[in-house]
Amino acid sequence: MRKYSNWILMCSVLFISFIVLPNILMATDPGGGGLDDPDAPIDGGVSLLIAAGVGYGYKKYKDNNKKKSII
């Protein structure tokens, strides 16, 4: 169980750092804030899709391990 909790913790830290780190870096930009007219804005929808993908992958991983332990 400890192996899984370490894996979940590592994925959570990476996911949060990918979401929070770009915002921090743009906030400290002395030039005034990056691009004026971005072609494709990335908003909360993309982060929800990523979170759903991570959750679905984790569920498939657990189901696959259950199936292996039964056989």
Predicted TM-score (pTM) of this structure: 0.40
Residue 16's nearest CA partner among 52, 65, 51 is 51
What pLDDT score does 34 carry? 56
pLDDT of residue 38: 57
Q: CA Rg, the chain, in Å?
A: 18
pLDDT for the residue 56 = 93
**pLDDT at position 55:** 92
Q: How high is the pLDDT of residue 67?
A: 78
H helices of the chain, in order, are 2-27, 44-70
Parts of the chain with a pLDDT under 70:
1-2, 24-42, 70-71
pLDDT of residue 47: 81
